[in-house]
Amino acid sequence: MKLGCIADDLTGATDLALMLARGGLQTIQTIGVPRTDLDLSRADAVVVALKSRTVPAQEAIAQSLAAAESLKKGGAQHLFFKYCSTFDSTDEGNIGPVTDALLAFTGSDFTLACPAFPANGRTVYKGHLFVNGVPLHESSMKDHPLTPMRDSNLVRVLQRQTKLPVGLVSYEDMEAGPAAIRSAFAREKAAGHRIVIVDALNDTHLRAIGLSAADLPLMTGGSGVAMGLPAAYRQSEGLTAATPSTGFDAPAGRRIILAGSCSSATRGQVQAALDAGLPALKLNALDLASGAMTAQMALDWLKSQPGSGPALIYSTANPNEVQTVQSRLGRMHAGEIVENTLAEIAKALPTLGFTRLIVAGGETSGAVVSALDVDALAIGPEIDPGVPWTRSLAGNDLALALKSGNFGTPDFFLKAWNMLR
């Protein structure tokens, strides 16, 4: 295994797995630390999906180290810590504390941090993160239900989360190409910096980072920064490219969309599905808390829907609604209530004949997939940048599209099905 990856949420893991698979690496994604009986011998890359983005920092560290240990035992030569392209975190973590712990684990004293993903509008310039050209703190991420991002300066954001000195390798070095980037890493290291935020405005920068950083014991970032790794491995070790998948065979069965993301892209996708007349049920978090709505009621509703087309169950709400709910229930508790309900609904889906699922939201996907008895995923074709179809490798036979909250075109919930055979 060339690369062992630890992702802090499930949709982030599929995003990274897609990037590596598209680059020609045989890639398997596991849900949590791989089961010991899972055959990973043919994988060039294994991506372990955790649910560690918003748990207490000590727990995130423990989960990440357990994953690192297992990947190392599986033969991983390098580690990659994947977090969100919008750097979702709080001053308590978990990007800083997990990076610190993984650096110590690898016995290394230097790594980079770069969430850039230009295909999805995320760029880093002079250490500031932009989302579709808007500074992070002015983007819709300022209202995220769990990790509101109110500072665009990533050096500052990360420095609040780690005691290790954070530096910056900026645009000018990126423009000068791989050799200059390597010199910039050496310069920053000599200056005492242990983690460097790296600028990247386009895919050329990302590929150059891959070539410059492929030999680091640990890399950290969004999926974009992994773009150059497959080519770098091929160059250094003659690794042959696997053919990325195109068509996709999915198990026969009914279709459903579960949306627990309140991000702006998902809000648009829910609206497009409603406009198209999909049968839809909205879960109101306050009703769930009071018992006025339950998972069983949602399942009863689902059973009464026509089997021919997809149905939508969503808790997606605008920032005002979310704020009202959170002021009554508390931020984390509100999130848990919704996640638990969607997970309870998901648990019943296979027996009701649902085999093709779209799930919107990272935390939501984590909760839903752990309820579905799925341990590992094969990566299929890309629906939109960062979102592939996947198929379970054991347990319930399911086709799953696990969509990051802010990814995908407005018609994602309508068009994704067309790729399934």
Ligand X SMILES: O=C(O)[C@@H](O)C(=O)COP(=O)(O)O
Distance CA 186, CA 163 (A): 20
Q: Pick left, alpha or beta for residue 291 (phi over 0 → left; psi -120 to 50 → alpha; otherwise beta).
A: left
- CB of 357 within 8 A of CB of 398? yes
Q: Enumerate the β-bridge partners of residue 354.
A: 254
Per-residue contact track with ligand X, 76 to 105, x per CB under 6 A? --------xxx-------------------
Q: Residue 247: how many CB atoms within 10 A of its CB? A: 9
User: Residues in contact with ligand X, total (CB under 6 A)?
Assistant: 16
Distance CA 75, CA 72 (A): 5
Q: Which does 15 bind (CB under 5 to 8 A by kind): ligand ADP, ligand X, none?
A: ligand X
When asked if residue 145 is in the footprint of ligand X (CB under 6 A), the reply is: no
Helix extents (H) in 160-228? 171-175, 178-190, 203-213
* Least distance (Å) between residue 120 CB and ligand X: 7
* Nearer CB in complex with ligand X: 120/162: 120
CB-nearest residue to ligand ADP: 405
Q: Which does 145 bind (CB under 5 to 8 A by kind): ligand ADP, ligand X, none?
A: ligand ADP
When asked if residue 361 is in the footprint of ligand X (CB under 6 A), the reply is: yes
Q: Which does 285 bind (CB under 5 to 8 A by kind): ligand ADP, ligand X, none?
A: ligand ADP
For 43, phi then psi, to 5°, come to -85, 135
Q: With CB under 6 A as the contact rule, which of the stretches 10-18, 226-234, 269-277, 281-289 interacts with ligand X?
A: 10-18
Tell me the two tokens of residue 413: 């919930």
Per-residue contact track with ligand X, 203 to 232, x per CB under 6 A? -------------------xx---------
Distance CA 278, CA 415 (A): 13
Distance CA 313, CA 349 (A): 12
Q: Which of 97, 253, 310, 362 binds ligand X (CB under 6 A)?
A: 362
Upstream peptide bond of 153 is cis (omega within 30 degrees of 0): no
* Nearer CB in complex with ligand X: 12/24: 12
- List interacting residues with ligand ADP (CB under 6 A): 145-146, 260-263, 266, 285, 315, 317, 321-322, 325-326, 334-335, 338-339, 361-364, 404-405
* Amino acid at residue number 209: I
* Nearer CB in complex with ligand X: 193/261: 261
Residue from 117, 128, 154 nearest 15 by CA? 117
* Least distance (Å) between residue 286 CB and ligand ADP: 9
* Nearer CB in complex with ligand ADP: 139/263: 263
Tell me the two tokens of residue 264: 């702006």
* Least distance (Å) between residue 104 CB and ligand ADP: 28
Cα maximum dimension of the chain: 66
Distance CA 42, CA 73 (A): 15
DSSP assignment, residue 414? H
* Least distance (Å) between residue 196 CB and ligand ADP: 26
Q: Which does 146 bind (CB under 5 to 8 A by kind): ligand X, ligand ADP, none?
A: ligand ADP
When asked if residue 9 is in the footprint of ligand X (CB under 6 A), the reply is: yes
* Amino acid at residue number 60: A
* Least distance (Å) between residue 160 CB and ligand ADP: 21
Catalog residues that contact ligand X under the rule CB under 6 A. 9, 11-12, 15, 84-86, 222-223, 263, 361-362, 386, 404-406
